[in-house]
């Protein structure tokens, strides 16, 4: 993050802080407002993208920079809360008049500035892969954030199906409130014990930022690759859009687990279907791919290559296709009357990894 970008982040954090009221902070709705305001502001600025590096190298660099920034702001917050506690102790409670407001201000400043850094990181990663987020409908982004933040906690019941169903059932406002409350609660817990917060707050900030950055990075990689491959498949009367989304589901769950960004990608793909199609496809998110394989035989001849290409991309975009994914691709090729070439899959994996 260069000096100009740092000034922009400081400026937008200050502007957002002035627009947030006590009720928004108390209820947790502040996070949704930060997301929407930041996305509107980001829409009119030019994102700095270093086109001389492969995309994944650019992404690693901006994630490291964001981790450094949130680590420093966490350290400052820990120092503030510790200093306020010591001042109150040494003045027999009189210093609380100054210390308590300073502690609260430091916590709120840490949370708000960290949220802005996370948004800047997200938008920069999106720009690297040519992906933008709609400020008027940030549901996809909020769902991704929810998955990234909650991934540190207990996994949801119901496995992969439960994860996707839960993500799609939540309204964006509900997600934003839940995230806002969670972030404030985490900041309070980290700085509850004087001195300890100086160490725990920056470490926790760095850990959360790295997790979020890596999740968003994988998400935009998925969306860029699948968006390019699915352009023809999800359009037109004869387009096998439902089969494509189901196929991505079976590939992403072939190894028995689902990552946060994978659930978010399925949500994005389902969002491109009609409500009737979306409900039908969700009900077919099961473990047995047999019926889906049988329906592949009815795919129009002119769409088979496009469909198989999309499924190859879904397997390759995660940098390595697992043995279950390769086995499934082989069976898909057989159902479509095509040949599966493992060498082509390896070439595709390298192309997606090193795309400029």
- Together in a domain, 12 and 155: yes
Question: Is the pLDDT confidence value at 85 over 90?
Answer: no
Looking at residue 311, its pLDDT comes to 92
- Together in a domain, 215 and 123: yes
Looking at residue 211, its pLDDT comes to 92
Task: Using alpha carbons, select from 62, 38, 36, 40 the residue that is nearest to residue 49.
Answer: 62
Window from 15-24, 117-126, 165-174 with minimum mean pLDDT: 15-24
Looking at residue 18, its pLDDT comes to 63
Looking at residue 272, its pLDDT comes to 80
Average pLDDT over residues 102-131: 79
**pTM greater than 0.85:** no
Looking at residue 103, its pLDDT comes to 46
pLDDT 10s digits, 204-225: 888 889 999 999 999 998 888 8
More confident call, 306 vs 237: 306
What is the percent of the chain with per-residue pLDDT over 70, rounded to a whole number? 69
**Final residue before a domain boundary, out of 220, 247, 264:** 220
Q: How far apart are CA 153 and CA 85, in angstroms?
A: 30
Instruction: Domain of residue 286: give its range.
Output: 231-353
Alpha helix stretches (DSSP H) within the chain: 3-19, 22-27, 30-43, 55-90, 96-128, 139-150, 159-169, 172-190, 196-230, 241-252, 260-270, 275-283, 290-296, 301-316, 323-336, 342-353
- Together in a domain, 136 and 161: yes
- Together in a domain, 243 and 333: yes
- Together in a domain, 182 and 212: yes
**Tokens at residue 331, please?**
């069976």
- Together in a domain, 95 and 158: yes
Residue 225 lies in a domain: no
- Together in a domain, 187 and 296: no
Residue 209 lies in a domain: yes
Question: Is the pLDDT confidence value at 138 over 80?
Answer: yes
DSSP string for 207-272: HHHHHHHHHHHHHHHHHHHHHHHHTTTTSSTT--HHHHHHHHHHHHTTTS---HHHHHHHHHHHTT
pLDDT 10s digits, 140-192: 888 888 888 875 455 555 677 777 777 777 666 678 888 888 877 776 666 55
- Together in a domain, 115 and 58: yes
Residue 226 lies in a domain: no
Looking at residue 295, its pLDDT comes to 93
- Together in a domain, 159 and 264: no
Residue 180 lies in a domain: yes
**Final residue before a domain boundary, out of 171, 189, 220:** 220
Q: Rounded to 5 degrees, what angle do the CA atoms 162, 136, 266 make?
A: 25
Tally of structural domains, the chain: 2
Looking at residue 87, its pLDDT comes to 39
State the pLDDT confidence band at 104, using cuts at 50, 70 and 90. very low
CATH classification of the domain holding 292: 1.10.3680
Q: How far is CA 293 from CA 122, 279, 281, in A?
A: 37, 20, 14
Average pLDDT over residues 304-330: 88
């Amino acid at each position: 993050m260069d000096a100009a970008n740092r000034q922009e982040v400081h400026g937008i954090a200050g502007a957002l802080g002035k627009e947030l009221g006590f009720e928004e902070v108390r209820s947790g709705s502040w996070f949704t407002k930060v997301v929407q305001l930041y996305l509107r502001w980001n829409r009119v600025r030019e994102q700095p993208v270093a086109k001389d590096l492969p995309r994944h190298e650019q992404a690693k660099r901006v994630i490291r920079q964001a981790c450094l920034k949130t680590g420093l702001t966490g350290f400052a917050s820990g120092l503030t809360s510790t200093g306020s506690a010591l001042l109150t102790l040494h003045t027999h409670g009189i210093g609380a008049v100054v210390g308590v407001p300073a502690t609260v201000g430091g916590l709120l400043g840490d949370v708000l500035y960290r949220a802005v850094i996370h948004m800047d990181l997200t938008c920069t990663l999106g720009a690297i892969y040519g992906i933008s987020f709609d400020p008027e409908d940030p549901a996809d982004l909020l769902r991704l954030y929810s998955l990234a933040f909650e991934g540190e906690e207990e996994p949801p019941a119901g496995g992969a199906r439960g994860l996707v169903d839960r993500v799609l059932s939540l309204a964006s406002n509900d997600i934003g409130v839940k995230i806002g409350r969670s972030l404030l609660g985490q900041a309070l817990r980290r700085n509850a014990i004087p001195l300890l917060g100086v160490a725990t707050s920056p470490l926790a900030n760095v850990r959360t930022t790295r997790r979020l950055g890596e999740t968003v990075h994988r998400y935009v990689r998925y969306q860029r690759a699948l968006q390019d491959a699915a352009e023809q498949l999800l359009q037109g009367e004869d387009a096998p859009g439902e089969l494509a989304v189901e196929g991505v589901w079976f590939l992403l769950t072939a190894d028995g687990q689902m990552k946060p960004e994978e659930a978010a990608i399925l949500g994005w793909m389902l969002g491109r279907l009609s409500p009737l199609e979306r409900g039908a496809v969700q009900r077919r998110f099961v473990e047995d791919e047999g019926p889906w394989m049988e329906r592949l035989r009815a795919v129009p001849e002119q769409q088979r290559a496009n469909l198989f290409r999309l499924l190859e991309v879904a397997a390759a975009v995660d940098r390595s296709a697992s043995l279950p994914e390769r086995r499934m691709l082989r069976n898909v090729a057989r159902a479509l009357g095509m040949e599966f070439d493992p060498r082509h899959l390896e070439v595709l994996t390298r192309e997606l990894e090193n795309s400029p």
